[in-house]
Amino acid sequence: MERLRSSPLHANISTALDKHLESIHVVQARRKDEIVNASSRQRHGPPRCQDERVVLALAAALQALCLATRKVRTVLWCAFQMTLPK
């Protein structure tokens, strides 16, 4: 989009994209933690408190990803509108 405009876009656009990518990485890490915890629970028995913390961390990461996705969609729509010819 910057090439179409021949000028750099607002700094908030790249910031929103970076936060979205960071949120994706956090969700991936929480999901890996959940998988590791589930596989170790099958071997050693059920420590419930630990499982709930892992699932709640995943849920919080998904909520943050949802918010970041909404923001990045809005930002990309605005960037698209700025690149359209008048």
Digit-coded pLDDT (tens) for 9-62? 888 898 999 999 999 999 999 999 988 887 776 665 555 566 788 989 999 999
Condensed to tens digits (0 to 9), the pLDDT of residues 66-82 reads: 999 999 999 999 989 88
50's CB contacts (< 8 A; 6+ apart) are 37
pLDDT at 84 over 90: no
